[in-house]
Amino acid sequence: MTETNPPVIEIRDLHKSYGSLEVLKGVDMVAPRGHVVSLIGSSGSGKSTLLRCANLLEDSQQGEILFEGEPIAWRGTGLGRHPANRTQVTRIRTNLSMVFQQFNLWGHMTILQNVMEAPVTVLKRDAAEVEEKARGYLDKVGIGDKCDAYPAMLSGGQQQRAAIARALCMEPRALLFDEPTSALDPELEQEVVRVIKALAEEGRTMLIVTHDMRMAADVSDHVVFLHQGRIEEEGPPETLFGAPKTERLQGFLNAGKPQ
């Protein structure tokens, strides 16, 4: 990456602890513009924590986080370290839209209202312009006919696609997905995977924590395998899935294959 085209997200030597439990033990990661980076690993490996640190939902204790080349300003050290500039945090967070495992839609709002809420109330954008874009994004994810429905009226796959439309409506620099399909049954999971693949083909910057190795192989430019808070192996998907070098990655991939 050049100085004129820095990565959207860059993480250097990141450490994260919960009390005495060290979850991330010096992680370096880069998400270049227009690339899809997938984070894989067993439960407890630190992948979701890394994603939440990247989006500043969690405070880290050591290391640097840069957004488009701009370093996060910190005050304090160790467990007392926190971002020094709340305005900076808010600005960066609005450019990193997160899609969670459990949808997090407002039950008392229609799907259209859910998608419009943040751009109108947080970004103070014109409601009529936001509504036009929101309808377009709902069409893009295949549920344009559900604008007036409420979340409880939709399947899990439809709710997750609504959550993706909501993230897109913020028009962020990057999309962050935290296990976007793990709460869905296989049929509904494929609805969401198709949307994520289409977004990848558009050249959107995405950081994806996933248990779905097939999706990671299909959509990623780069895959990071985390084990016990460290990067055990990383590289292009064809290398990681086709010729894994470490015994830990080989064991992880073999454990996920049907017997």
Residue pLDDT, tens place only, 178-231: 999 988 898 889 999 999 999 999 999 999 999 999 999 999 999 999 999 999
Query: Which among 38, 21, 20 has a CA at the least distance from the CA of 29?
Result: 38
Sheet containing 96-99, strands listed edge to edge, beginning at the edge strand earlier in sequence:
96-99, 174-178, 206-209, 36-40, 222-227, 230-235
Domain boundaries for CATH 3.40.50.300 within the chain? 1-95+186-259
Residue pLDDT, tens place only, 36-82: 999 999 999 999 999 999 999 999 999 999 999 999 999 999 999 99
The two three-digit tokens of residue 48, written as one number:
């979701």
* Alpha carbons 100 and 102: distance in angstroms, whole number: 5
**Phi, psi for 225 (deg, rounded to 5):** -105, 115
**What are the DSSP E strand ranges found in 81-173?**
82-83, 96-99
Confidence of residue 133 (pLDDT cuts 50, 70, 90): very high
Name the fold adopted by 1-95+186-259.
Answer: Rossmann fold (3.40.50)
Confidence of residue 259 (pLDDT cuts 50, 70, 90): very low
